Amino acid sequence: MLNSILYKNTRISFSTKGKGTAVVLLHGFLENSTMWNSVADSLSKKNRVVCIDLLGHGQTACLGYVHTMEIMAEAVGAVLTHLKIRKSVFIGHSMGGYVALAFAEKNPDNVKGLCLMNSTTRADNANRVDLRTRAIEAVKTEYKNLVRLSVLNLFRPKNRILFKTEIIAIKAEALKTPLQGYIAAQEGMKIRNDREVLLHFSPYKKMFILGKKDPVLDCKELLDQVKNTEVEVIEFPDGHMSHIENKEELIIALKRFVK
């Protein structure tokens, strides 16, 4: 069941389940907290799991027309303050990883662990910024088609048929994202800071989960980020949607990480 708080006159929706170490699950772009259902069910048996709908996604409203990773992280912090949670393990998928990094940079003492799942610490390069800019223009007239295509392109090509039923459900959830939420998140991701330094100098435990056939993120570039660090790396053989394409293995890895 979703609860909510008001942050800057904007309703932020979240859910909590279980008792124990606080584990905060942050979804990706065009996703919402429902993406974590299976993961949350498993982790909540021994932990207090908090799932948050980020700005402009799920049941959380928009806050202006640019959702920076910092403002999203502040909204996350407001939920945790409301719940009186001081220290948490953060697990962020894709854009959720960017938000987790922004939170960790500002609040290092409130982080017990950080897992970046199909995500990156690096800022967008010029090509990626250009792709986002073009998507923002295209979505104004081709919203449904662009959203559906965006979801499909997150999966390893051979898995697009194998997980056809799951993809239909994910597209339906993605289409609940309002146009303003789509644009505000893209604008925020375009200008996000590079936070690779956190992998080298932060004191808490860290883990990278990546897909060798990720259509969005280059596996070699991700591995380059963790060179000469103590970051644990879990490599799966599939795409950007590890919670679907490699669900059982992912849950095992996450349970071990938060233990």
Give pLDDT, residue 117. Answer: 98
Please check whether residue 103 is in contact with residue 72, taking contact to mean a CB–CB distance below 8 angstroms: no
Give pLDDT, residue 1. Answer: 74
CATH classification of the domain holding 192: 3.40.50.1820
Q: Beta strand pairing status for 3-7 and 10-17?
A: antiparallel
- Domain count for the chain: 1
pLDDT above 80: residue 169: yes
Rg of the chain over Cα atoms, rounded to whole angstroms, equals 17
Digit-coded pLDDT (tens) for 189-243: 999 999 999 999 999 999 999 999 999 999 999 999 999 999 999 999 999 999 9
Helix (H, G, I), strand (E, B) or coil at 38: helix
* Tokens read off for 38: 């299976």
In which domain, by residue range, is 152 found?
A: 3-258
